[in-house]
Structure 1
Amino acid sequence: MSDKLQKLLAHAGHGSRREIETWIESGRITVNGKRAKLGDRATVRDRILLDGNLVSLNSAATEPIRALMYHKPEGEICTRSDPKGRPTVFEKLPAIPNGRWVSVGRLDLNTSGLLLFTNNGELANKLMHPSTGLEREYLVRIRGVASDETVQKLTGDGVMIDGRKAKFDSVQPADMAEQGTNRWYRVVIREGRYREVRRMWDAVGHTVSRLKRIRYGTVKLTRDVKQGQSSKLAPKQLEKLVRSVGLGDAFAGQLYSAGRDGPGSRTSGKPARASSTTRRGQRASTDRSPRPTKKSPNKSTRGNSRAGSTTARRRSTKS
């Protein structure tokens, strides 16, 4: 059966639907020799080229779905490359076989915290789509103290952002040691519009001085994942995340198991040319010469040695 071109490519891990739609609009994709346009459908048997390079679709239904959390520090941007030479979040991700990492949403330059990545564009699209209503939780430090009326406005009536109302699901004081003239709050929101959290606080007269995302849907940023590090989601974490957007049955055969592709250890933030597991496996397969072992003498051997030494002493005495 055919699928929309952007869905087919996203499912094969070549990008998110939105990203692929921009490629189609800019004429970067051809299908069977013809320039693709939005609305075109295709199958895995079609010849699809991206920038003149053949796109592989064989892994669309067989490649295990992978996902990881990344602790983004301030100062990194969420694009694959930057004309200004600024560091990007993709530079520190581990290598991935048969695909590439697709970012689930973005964080602006001055925002830190949790970013999710997956090799499955269809999953990334679902996680970002407004219809799923996934919660995003942030730690936010504002200048001043929010009054009860301000909190009510942010969670009840809402504020206007780009001609649309926006509001938080909740605003709660955060128990943080660093306070002074600033105050920390935990906020929960179900949208991901551009700089929305900052702009909402600006709309009620409070400037955001620090912002950190600590949860996306069912995934929480854990303390052991330091800034600039990433960690693969454990199988149960991934399954829970996939089911939260209604794709559990569709991707049941592609979810990795602990035995086949279990969660990897945290990475230091340096890009990997090959996985450490693979390198260790290669060394193990080539370094298997048997090691010499010390054999303890058995009882009969020890007995014979004592008997021999006794006989020798008797002979020397007679002589």
Structure 2
Amino acid sequence: MGRAASRLQQATAPEAPSERLQKALASAGLGSRREMEEWIAQGRVLVNGETATIGSKVGPGDVVKVSGRRVYLRFEDKRTRILIYHKSEGEIVTRDDPEGRATVFDALPKLRGAKWIAVGRLDYNTDGLMIFTTSGELANNLMHPRFEVEREYAVRVLGELTEEMIAQLLAGVELDDGMAQLQSCFAAGGEGANRWYRVVIKEGRKREVRRLFEHFGLTVSRLTRIRFGPIALPPQLRRGQKMELEDELVARVLEWAEMAPSPRRHTRGVPDKHSRKPRMR
């Protein structure tokens, strides 16, 4: 290609997509926009070798480093996508497992120019609602402790809580890693030695619900997450099934998280044949 043709191609090429640096970093899953602004103000972020400033814009051709390490930003797909999945017991929440065990990511549809980010975790023996999104900022808003997003669980216990125990759980009990408490706890039936309870908690420390019951000498024999923030697990979504939220529901989740809706898109989602729309709170 000659110089004239090259200059003409550069002059007529479409402008590369760009966005504010703090938003791009948040979308990459590094933290909230506010945290990214703090990092930028502290001089931790470099763009093309120069210290960035708040409000700087970046595009696909820019080299961005945070604390000396390069960060690869995604610009190909601006749409926020949300997928819900009914995790089974025996699956782990990781992309790669050295032991070759089944992971929740094995069941997710492949993406181009983006990746699924897990919103929180469920341990190996816990089943229920998992949420995945392509937006790092949304994932951070749903997971960060300061947002106090509710998680609701159905808990089957070998034994029974007394009214005094429930009062203590609501007031808070001391665990090995600090105080923990339930926002609500009520009986939901059961037979024989097993009792079911519905509980709501506003944080996601490791095995926290199980440890709260173990504090009173009660063993949790089944733990199912049935709601995370505004999204509830549809009763018809069986274990191992997944479905993608449609535009209307994505917009409602973004509004709930106080984020601007992403560009609308037409989609039929990826519902399994027995699934229905998730319930919104």
TM-score bucket (shorter structure):
0.7 to 0.9
Q: Secondary structure at the match of 2:128?
A: strand
CA 54–199 in structure 1, closer or farther in 2 if over 3 Å, else same: closer
Deviations 1:163-185 (A, max 9, x none): 42211111111135xx3211110
Decide whether the 8 Å contact of 1:111 with 1:210 is kept in 2.
yes
The list of structure 1 runs, each at least 4 consecutive aligned residues, that deviate by more than 6 angstroms after superposition, is 39-42
Residues 95, 163 of structure 1: alpha-carbon distance in 2 compared, 3 angstrom cutoff:
closer
Deviation of 1:40 (Å)? 10
Distance 1:16 1:230, change over 3 A: farther
8 Å Cα contact 2:246-2:268 kept in structure 1: yes
Q: Which residue of 2 aligns with 1:192?
A: 204
Cα displacement (A) at 1:115: 0.4
Contact 1:16 1:102 in 2 (8 A): no
2:188 maps to 1:174: yes
Q: Deviations over 1:236-255 (max 9, x none)?
A: 322222122211xx3x2x15
State the alpha-carbon separation in 2 of the partners of residues 81 and 221 from structure 1: 26
2: CA distance between counterparts of 1:255 and 1:160?
Answer: 45
- Structure 2: stretches of 5+ with no match in the other structure: 1-18, 37-44, 275-281
Provide the residue aligned with 2:16 in structure 1.
none
Aligned length: 244
Residue in 2 aligned with 1:256?
264
Q: Residue 138 of structure 1 contacts residue 214 of structure 1 at CA under 8 Å; is this kept in 2?
A: yes
CA distance in 2, matches of 1:15, 1:163: 26
What SS class does the counterpart of residue 111 from structure 2 fall into?
coil
Alignment match, 2:48: 32
Is the alpha carbon distance of 1:98 and 1:261 closer, same or farther for their aligned partners in structure 2, counting shifts above 3 Å? Answer: farther
The aligned amino acid for 2:264 is: Y
Q: CA RMSD in A?
A: 3.3
2:47–2:65 Cα contact (<8 Å) kept: yes
User: Per-residue deviation at 1:229?
Assistant: 1.3
State the partner residue of 1:3.
Answer: 21
Please state whether the residue corresponding to 1:125 is helix, strand or coil.
helix
2:166 alignment partner, one of 147, 151, 160: 151
Matching of residues 28-177 of structure 1 within 5 Å: 32=48, 43-45=57-59, 46-48=62-64, 55-59=72-76, 63-155=78-170, 157-176=171-190
The change in CA–CA distance for 1:44 and 1:183 in structure 2 (over 3 A counts) is same
What's the offset of the Cα at 1:235?
2.4
> What letter matches 2:120 in structure 1?
G
Determine which of 229, 244, 247 is the counterpart of 1:232: 244
Q: Distance in 2 between matches of 1:58 and 1:256?
A: 17
Higher strand share: 2
| SS of residue in 2 equivalent to 1:261 | coil
Determine which structure has the larger helix proportion and give its number: 1
How far 1:16 sits from its partner (Å)? Answer: 5.1
Q: Specify every segment of 5 or more residues in structure 1 that has no aligned partner in the other structure, as ranges.
A: 22-28, 269-319
- CA distance in structure 2 between the aligned counterparts of 1:134 and 1:128, rounded to whole angstroms: 7
Alpha-carbon separation, structure 2, partners of 1:212 and 1:92:
19
| Aligned-partner Cα distance in 2 for 1:107–1:267 | 25
Task: Say if 2:189 and 2:195, in contact at 8 Å, map to a contact too.
Answer: no
TM-score, normalised via structure 1 length = 0.67
What SS does the aligned partner of 1:124 have?
A: helix
Give 1 or 2 for the bigger CA radius of gyration: 1
CA distance in 2, matches of 1:54, 1:204: 46
Task: Report the CA distance shift for 1:228/1:53 in structure 2 as closer, same or farther (over 3 A).
Answer: farther
Identity %: 40
The letter of the residue matching 1:187 is V
1:201 is the counterpart of 2:213:
yes
What are the within-5 Å matches in structure 2 for residues 272-311 of structure 1? none
Contact 1:138/1:213 (8 A) holds in 2: yes
Cα offsets for 1:10-52 (capped at 9, x unmatched): 41xx44539xx9xxxxxxx986369x9xx999742421489x9
Write the distance in 2 (CA, Å) between the matches of 1:113 and 1:242.
22
Amino acid in structure 2 at the alignment position of 1:119:
T
